[in-house]
Chains A and B, each alone.
Chain A
Amino acid sequence: MNVWLKASGLCRHYRRGPQEVRAVDNFDLEMRRGEFLALVGSSGSGKSTLLNMLAGLDTPTAGTIEIEGTALSTMNRRELAAYRAHRVGMVFQAFNLIPHQTALRNVEMALFFNRTPVKDRRSRAIEILERLGLSGRIDHRPGDLSGGEQQRVAIARALVKKPDILFADEPTGNLDRENAAQIATLMSQLNREGLTVVVATHDLHMMQEHAHRIVRMDYGRFAGETVLPAGIGAGS
């Protein structure tokens, strides 16, 4: 297997008074480029914490994360910011759009920090919004959009920078079945176009038909994995 992303011995411990909370505990993970990975586990099992560390937003207490052989721990804060700005797209359960900005502005915002020429920003944002079927919603504010639309704007924001990898933290958690299914299909489609995707979810059924592999988490630890039919021979 051609390992593209590798986490080994990953720990994220929190000290809460005399107690130690092991949000992620000695976790190992290897991924190929182009893989679609579903991370499942009950609430509080450490999925979000793991994604945040992989996205360079959180720092592990122990262990390493390597992307194409480069350890995130060797990067300073600016390099980590650049890593997020150029290579990582993130999607959240709560959408996390900026409420007082239009859909277009929200998407454009992702290009503020990765040296995209000002003149290209708008066209790229419009292009991706149109691709996700939001051409009529460009000037809407998040409050005027449905949940599914909001999440598609959020995905557009994650994609506009043309990232290498998409981390989605329970992207369908706030959506009804129909919208959730749409989002899942969209991700699968993006994955087929070459995007590496990691989706954290507790809705196993939703991802089962799209994901290549399912990794289970329990109390921050690795609790087994399943390679699905779609995953056999997929990715590179």
Chain B
Amino acid sequence: MIPEYLLRALLASIMVSVLLGMLSPLINTKGLAFLTHALFHALLFGAVLGMIFGLLFENLALVMLTALIVTVTIVLLIAHLEKLGFSPDSAVGIVASFVAGLTVLGFGVLYKVMATRPYFPLGESIVSYLTGDIFLISLNSLTVLVLGGAFLFFVMLFLYRDFLYLSFDPEGMESYGGNVRAYLMVLYVLVGAIGTLIVQTVGLITLQVVAVLPGAIALMVSSDLRKVIGVSLLLTLGIQLSSVVLAYLTDIPPSGLATIMLGVIYGVLLFRR
């Protein structure tokens, strides 16, 4: 008999894989790796702020809500800076430095607030945010993940071709009547929202790797679009599911296993070239 928490973990990792598998080729072709870097800072700050609010108002749902708002705001801020003429890297640099500072300040506040609410069960969350806690996912969180994930998946699916054209030739897109700015915004918000949704299962430390490598690998081994997406999806699914099973058997956090497996595959492919 499979324990229920394992079933939940498997279901969560299927949702995560579908989202990341679809998104990863876009991150690679559009060159959005810088954004996943910014996401790291935004998500951490959002989590700290969210936990402060969650504790103050004694409502755990505020954690993800705050993280979502903070992340999307920061992502849009970066998009705005880019529009003002900063390169993506400097836009991320500017924003990340402020956010990182605020995060450290936020930790100070969080500890103070935690001291005033010793009875409220939030103690482990910051660490589990960093490494991912797929085995601890509650039924509530799983529901949010599946419903929110399905919504984001369909938005991404219906706009996939537009995102590809956006990556291929934004100027051309604009000259034929496409609203480049709007597509870019939607894409950035999607990346931010997906990040917020999956970070607690995937883990903040490893998020960037699992978001970038599957697409990078898929683009290395195939050039036809359908195959690229197919490989990326299957790879993410295979890695996520097997890491959950392995973690169940060995007690090592699954996010660590998934990242190492991806790294090995990527390394072998690079080496064979």
**Are A and B genuine complex partners?**
no
Q: Which residues of A contact B (CB under 8 A)?
A: none
